[in-house]
Structure formats: C-alpha cells, structure tokens
Structure 1
Amino acid sequence: MTPDVTPSTAVLTDKAAVAQLLRDMSLLLQLQGQSGFRVRAYDIAADRIANLPQDLGAIVTEGRLQELQGIGPGLAEKLTELVTTGRMTAFEELKAQFPAGLLELMKLPDVGPKKVAALWSELQVGSVEDLERACKDGRVRELKGFGPKSEAKLLDGIAVYRRARGERKLLGDALPIAEGLLERIRQAPGVVRASLGGSVRRRAETVSDVDLIASAKEAGPVLDALANAPGVATVIGKGDSKCSVRMVQGDLQVDLRVLPDEDFATALHHFTGSKAHHIRLRNLGHEKGLKISEWGVHREDGTKVPVPDEATLYRLLGMQEVPPELREDNGEVEAARAGKLPEDLVTLEDVQGAVHAHSTWSDGRNTLEEMARAAQALGLKYLTITEHSEAAIHAGGLKVDDLKRQWEEIDRVNAAVPGMRLLKGIEVDILESGALDYADSVLEQLEVVIASIHVRHSMDEDQMTRRVLAALDNPHLHILGHPTGRLIQSREPYALRMEEVLERARERGVAVEINGKPARLDIKSEYVRQAVGRGVKLVVSCDAHRQEDLKNLAFAVATARRGWARKQDILNTRSAESFLAALRER
C-alpha cells in the first residue's frame, strides 16, 4: 500500500538533486555500519530517480512512487517528504552524526563513496581541509588503494574545487529554474512584459544568480508571485520594486525587479550586462549628449527619450543591435558601429539534426527507438548514434561485432519511425599514440565518426597536441569531440595548442564539436570564434546519454552564438544528406 501521506505541491522536483541526496544517504549509512542491503536500497533508488523519464513532482503528488521498482513504503514516505518540503528528516538526523564537511569530499574530482569511506574510517578525514593536511603529511599514500600519485591528484582536485566553490552555478543548473520562475512571473496579475536578465540571458557558462525583469502598473502582486513561488527557501528581501529570494534547488539567489513599462527596455538592457559592454555604451552615449541608465535614456536637458525596445537604444547610438550573448566587450561594439556584426547567428530552430548520442548499447539510458522518438518530438529530423568504442571499457564500449549488430537495429528503428533517421556512427577513442580505436576498415563503413579523448588527460602540451593532430590526419575521421576535455569547475582543460588543432582541422576538413553538455560546453566560445575566423567546420551536439539530454542542443547553440557562429558555420543545420556530404568533404 501507499504510505498514508497526502502530498502537497511539489517543491523539489530536480531529479539529479534528489538522486544526489539519496546517494549521500547511502554513504552515511555505509559509514554508520549499516547492512549492505539497506545501503544498496538508497543507491538503487537514486538510479531510479535520476533516470526517470516522467516528471518526479507529478509521480509524488499522485502517490505513485511505489510503482517504481525498488522503492518501498518507507522510502516512498521519505521521498514524499523531500519532494514536498525540500528536506528529509531522516537524512538531516543522520548527517548530524558526522562532521559537516564529510559530504563535501564527494564534490572533489574523482572522489567517490569508497574513497570517502576509507579516508574517514582509516584517517578520520572529515573535511576538505582534513584531506589536504593528510595529503601534505604523506598519510594518504599509506592507505591501501592510494599512493603518492593519488595524493598529488587529490591535492590538484582540491585546488580546482576551491576555485569553483561558492562562486558560480552551471548555466545548465540555473537556466531551468530561471525559466520556470519567468513563466510564473509572466502569468502574474498586471504583467505587461517579463524577461530573464544578467548572465543567464547572456548564456554565460556559469552564473552567480538569476535576474528577472518585469513591467507592470502595480509591482506588489508581481513581487508576491516570486516570494510565494514553489521552491523558495527564503525571502531575502522584499521592497516596493524588488524581491530577492533563495531557492531550495541549487541554493540559487533570484532577484526580480518590477518597473513601469516605459522603463522596461532600458532596465532589461542594464540588468543584462555585461558591465564592460555597458561602460562602452555609456561612453558612446556621452559623446552624443545622452545619459544611459536603468531608468531610461535622457538628453543633457533632462528630457527623457522614448525607448520601447533594446533595438531603439542601439539605434540611438548609431549601431546595430547587439544580441545578449555577444555583450561582453569582445569587439562587438566596434563591429556593430561598423555595421559588420553578424545578423544571422545560428538559432536552435536552425538545427535539423542532433549530433553525438548514446543508447543502451553502451552507457546510455534509453533504447535506440526511445532516443529516435524523443528526437522527433523535439522537431529534429535525424540523430547521430555514436556509442563508445571498444577501448572505453568503463562506458560499455562496443566490440566490432556488437557495432555491426547495432546497425541492424538502427535499420529496424528507421523503418519503424518514419520522418526520423538514425545515422550510424561511433565515438571512437583517440588512443595515446593518436591512433583511433577501430581499424580503418571498420571506420570507413560508418556514416559519422567522432573521435574523443577519454583517458590520459595529464599528457603535456606537446604530447597532447601531437596526439590530437595525429587523430585529425585519419582520413575516416569526421568530427573532433569535446576537444579540450574540460569539465567546468571540476576538471581543467588538458594542455593543448588549440591554434594548431583548429588549423589542422581546417586543412583536413574535420568538423569540430561544440559540445552542449552543461558540464562541458567544449569548445568554449572563444575557440568557436577562432574556428569561425579560420573557416573550420563546426557541429552543435547534445552528448546525450538519455532522452532528456537531447535538450543540451540549446546550450551548444548558445555557445555557438557567443562565438559569433552563423547558421552556415554549423553543419547540422543542413538536411541529413547534406550534412553527411559535408562530413565526407576532406
């Protein structure tokens, strides 16, 4: 039976956040010495929630948690409490029995539950600071399964973590929260216009908070809509025109400003930023006798100039309108004044096919048919299926015989899902020598070959550059995948002479991936712009390991736009046949 719980409106519906708490619970139970069965129950539940295709809030509200395999009455009750209140009493009580910094260790690169358990039980390491001292004292290397190299790697990971801690959130984590709140604000009484602002609107890789701008005659009801929104943990402050809250999900601060509609465009522009871009525009305005602020544009005599939209503001300064993604003072002001700013930046609607997707054949969560239908539901016309190759044992890499059997299933799915085409591909590992994991006789049979590095990130710049250049020389390579190997706030890019890599890609006709996985966004926008300037082919990809990841295309497109890429620069804005033809041009 379903536990006697009457669910209220869901507060915490982020499946990744719920799954992480369950894994934290599993770790604490393990440290407490609980039975393996009880520990595994939380790990299994975490996997179920993380890979759930349906909306978690709806399942909880409808009391259907126990329909999920592995979730019994007790766990269903705890999950209901977590999703509807944002906290789990049992977890809070258990967490109080251990050092406050113990779970923080799990946020370090390459540190998992087993390592945390060993460090705690053997050395009483209960925080990042404890671990740093233990490493510097040489105590960690004495533990079974560790050593001097592990010690050095842990210290490097601590340094990376500290640079990111307490600073900014990944765009991929903040944007869904921001868009949900924006929709709520737009439906508030009296709202005329509303928009995202700040670094979220500029689609920066990471953001410190969320800015919302709205116009209405009366601000009160609009501010109340944010203050009373589901998922708000704390109302930080609320005045006549501004409300600031902190969300349960992601500990994210959200600031809403409500102004008269006549001030909406200038306020939106002001709170979109960046600061450097604004300074340039204010100086230009001063030269023209205009004062620009969030409250409007005024002439020297105090007369207010009507500014119905942002395009008008830029016209007043004698320049093209600058898209939000480009407002970083990276040459966009000069280009806009000269009328040379690209006006056909790529859009998500331009993209016809998704590049880089995995299925249950390797480390994906959904079947080929499920991935095909999900892509079609998003309006896409094709999807490149690129499982991992044999060397990627950790990711279920395919042996050649398995790869060929997959081709048969792809043919069946293509017949079963008219209007959607799965392309036969592979994400082949670039080996240490620069060779590709499969023989040329295999690669030449594939429609799409992506080559990526997944191991040995620590090679020096010269070694890594020669490794990538050698891979680009392979005549069967079509796309270079996540070229710098970075994981934002977690793993630094490997050392690489990117200028040489981009030039070799141009010479060989190999496309370079703009990976849309929020933790990667690789290559970054600066390299996109360099690639566009050199005439390098580009693709926007989703790096999808489940259906939901297909939406990562939006983040890839945002990165492409920040790098000044136009529709014509992105190969998968073309039809499937034209896309494949462009890949074959070497």
Structure 2
Amino acid sequence: MSGSAEDRAAYDAGPVAALRRIAFLLERAREDTYKVKAFRNAAATLLPMSDDDVAAAVDSGSITDLPGIGASTARVIADAVAGVVPDRLATLEREHGGPLTPGGHDLRAALRGDLHSHSDWSDGGSPIEEMAFTAIELGHDYLVLTDHSPRLTVAHGLSAERLSRQLDVVDAVNQHLAGAGFTLLKGIEVDILDDGGLDQTDELLARLDVRVASVHSKLKMDAAAMTRRMVGAIANPRMNVLGHCTGRLVTGNRGTRPGSQFDAKAVFEACVEHDVAVEINARPERRDPPTKLLELARDTGCLFSIDSDAHAPGQLDFLVYGCERAEAAGIDADRIVNTWPKERLLTWANG
C-alpha cells in the first residue's frame, strides 16, 4: 500500500461496491476476463454477508479463508472496511475512470438503452443480473439481452431449449427489479445462415422483444452471394437490427480481419424497405460499419441502433464510441432507435 490509511481519501461505499467498481473499470479498459473475475467473485462472496461479519473476518485475518478471496482482493476489502479508497481502485479511476472519447456525449445522453449485449449464458463473462444492475447504474431504461444462437457453438450459442429457459430467467430478473424504472428485454443475436435464413425457430423469435441478426461465418463469401444472404435475412419480418455488417476487426487481442464484401447500397436499401436498423457497433475493435458505409447508410435513409455488443458489464459503457461516430456523421438522434422510449421501440420491433 502507498502510505497509511490516514494519508488516503475517505471511502464509505463498502467493499462490495469497491470490488464491483474495480471489475467495471477493468472491463471498460478491455482487460482479459480472467483478470476481472477475481473481483466479481469476491464481491459475490461478500454480498450475502453482513458488514459486521466482513469486518470481523478482516480483523481476524480469516478473510482469505472465504471462497474466491485472495491476497489482492483481501487488500481491497480491508481498505474499504477501514473507510479508505483502495489503492487498486484509485489507480484504475485515475487511468480508466475518465471520459472514453472527446465527443459523442450529447448523443450518449439521449440514448435510453442498448440493443446488443451478452451474458455468461453464451460468450459473455457475467451473469444476466450483473449486466442488468450495471445497465441501471449507467442510466439505461432498458437493455436487450442478445446471447448467441445455436450455430455459433464456439460462443456457446443457445439451443431452443436453453433460450426458452433464459426467457423465464429474464422474467424473474424483471420481477426482482420491479420499481427500478428499468426493463431487461428479451432478445437474441441470431446468426444469418448461408442461405439468408435465421438460426432459430420462428416460434421462439416471435417470443422475443428485439432481434439482432449478424453474419459470423464464411465472412469471405463471394460478394454477390453475401449480398443475397444479407438481403434474404433482412427480408425476414422477425429481423430488427443488422449487426456489425462487415464483420471486420481493426484492433484488439483477436487480431485484425478485413470486412466482408457485399453490395452495400443494395443491403441498405433492403434495410430501408423492411424497416431494419443498421447497427453502429460501438466496440473499439470493430468500428463497424466503416465510415464510408456508415455515411452511405445515412444517405440511403436507414435507421440505426448504437450498440455496445458488451460481453462484460464494464463494456456497456462503450456506447459513447458509437455515439461519437454517429455525431461525426451527422445522424439525427431520432433515426437512432435506442433513443426511443421503450414503448415506441417495441412497437417498431414487433409491428
């Protein structure tokens, strides 16, 4: 520790809040999930304990005997119990707690929610309820849970049976959060199949509130075939949002990847015809669509959805990256469907 407790700022939010905030900031900084889980696991261990029991465990030196609590998380807990800002938290606030972008903040303030997020039911790193709690803390009115569909086995895509069970869990979360002014909406990121079909039964798609459809396979498909594939999916009346349309990666620990080739004008014209929004994927490693395609979609008359594509709670804060791009492109806020109130969004998505 750097200095005595008396030398450091007072802290009264408690150890669970400190652990969750550290995890949030690590995720916001795009750190690997394994570096984050220790803090979220420690918070989960303390959550059912009383303040007195936590303090007693710290005083007796037995805090590390509790499941999921090691030396680094124990130091955070001890500082928070002592009423001082933990060193790890202070460092992360200094390095990663400020604004992510210089621009986009006015539009970010206009967003009411996020239509693309993942939990640990597929390839996300946190439980559904933790994603919902963080969305509330960020001021969202709604968050759409969009775990992957069955074909994406590498991301633990949800079978029809698992998706049905997840819908019951979402109902339970909403019941628990009743009165919070927030709704967790039922959704999916459904794979666009090679022939333009959607990778889930129509019966289940009909039970959802919002559906994002994305290409995840055969990204190097011939441009004409890829255009037919995407236009076919867009014509499906269950589809609402075209997710990360080129599939490109421009940075990050997964490396880089060029975008798919397709007739963008034809695809965006189909989006206008079928009232499908084009996603502005806010993940820094995607920046999808590229600027020229974003401007083409704007000029074609498309609706948009600015989405975090969050795979961890801290990544829900990525929305501002997409907002900065949308502001730079001069896209009017009313053309962005997640600036709309929940009732208007659901009427559009299921009209």
TM-score by length of structure 2 reads: 0.73
Gaps of 5+ in 1: 1-5, 21-45, 55-61, 77-82, 85-175, 184-195, 204-324, 326-344
Distance change in 2, residues 1:548/1:503 (3 Å): same
Residue 578 of structure 1 corresponds to 344
2:256 aligned with 1:494: no
Q: Partner of 1:383: helix, strand, or coil?
A: strand
2:184 aligned with 1:422: yes
The structure that is strand-richer by fraction is 1
Q: 2:242 aligns with which of 480, 483, 490?
A: 480
Q: Distance in 2 between matches of 1:375 and 1:178?
A: 18
Residue 556 of structure 1 corresponds to 322
Q: Distance in 1 between matches of 2:211 and 2:191?
A: 10
Distance change in 2, residues 1:18/1:502 (3 Å): closer
Distance change in 2, residues 1:7/1:428 (3 Å): same
2:287 aligned with 1:521: yes
Q: Partner of 2:147: helix, strand, or coil?
A: strand
Contact 2:29 2:96 in 1 (8 A): no
Q: 1:505 aligns with which of 260, 268, 271?
A: 271
Q: 1:444 aligns with which of 199, 206, 227?
A: 206
Distance change in 2, residues 1:405/1:18 (3 Å): closer
Contact 1:516 1:555 in 2 (8 A): yes
Task: Report the CA distance between 1:583 and its aligned residue.
Answer: 2.3
Distance change in 2, residues 1:49/1:414 (3 Å): same
Q: Percent identity?
A: 33
Amino acid in structure 2 at the alignment position of 1:498: A
Distance change in 2, residues 1:17/1:357 (3 Å): closer
Q: 1:396 aligns with which of 150, 156, 179?
A: 156
Contact 2:132 2:143 in 1 (8 A): yes
Post-superposition Cα deviations, 1:380-425, rounded to whole Å, max 9, x if no partner, equal 1100011100001111111111111111111111111131101111
Distance change in 2, residues 1:444/1:519 (3 Å): same
Higher Cα Rg: structure 1 or 2? 1
Distance change in 2, residues 1:70/1:177 (3 Å): closer
Distance change in 2, residues 1:349/1:47 (3 Å): closer
Residue 8 of structure 2 corresponds to none
Task: Report the CA distance between 1:499 and its aligned residue.
Answer: 1.2
Q: 2:301 aligns with which of 515, 535, 538?
A: 535
Residue 368 of structure 1 corresponds to 128
Within 5 Å, give how 1:6-85 maps onto structure 2: 6=1, 15=26, 47-51=33-37, 69=68
Task: Report the CA distance between 1:67 and its aligned residue.
Answer: 7.4
Contact 2:114 2:306 in 1 (8 A): yes
Q: Partner of 1:426: helix, strand, or coil?
A: strand
Post-superposition Cα deviations, 1:312-362, rounded to whole Å, max 9, x if no partner, equal xxxxxxxxxxxxx8xxxxxxxxxxxxxxxxxxx961110011110111211
Distance change in 2, residues 1:385/1:16 (3 Å): closer
Contact 2:28 2:314 in 1 (8 A): no
Gaps of 5+ in 2: 5-22, 41-57, 76-86, 89-93
Within 5 Å, give how 1:155-166 maps onto structure 2: none
Q: Distance in 1 between matches of 2:96 and 2:311?
A: 24
Q: Distance in 2 between matches of 1:485 and 1:8?
A: 48
Q: Distance in 2 between matches of 1:419 and 1:536?
A: 30
Q: Distance in 1 between matches of 2:226 and 2:110?
A: 34
Q: Partner of 2:307: helix, strand, or coil?
A: strand
Task: Report the CA distance between 1:496 and its aligned residue.
Answer: 1.7
Q: Distance in 1 between matches of 2:350 and 2:295?
A: 23
Distance change in 2, residues 1:393/1:533 (3 Å): same
Larger relative contact order, structure 1 or 2 (CA cutoff 8 Å, min sep 6): 2
Q: Distance in 1 between matches of 2:164 and 2:129?
A: 17
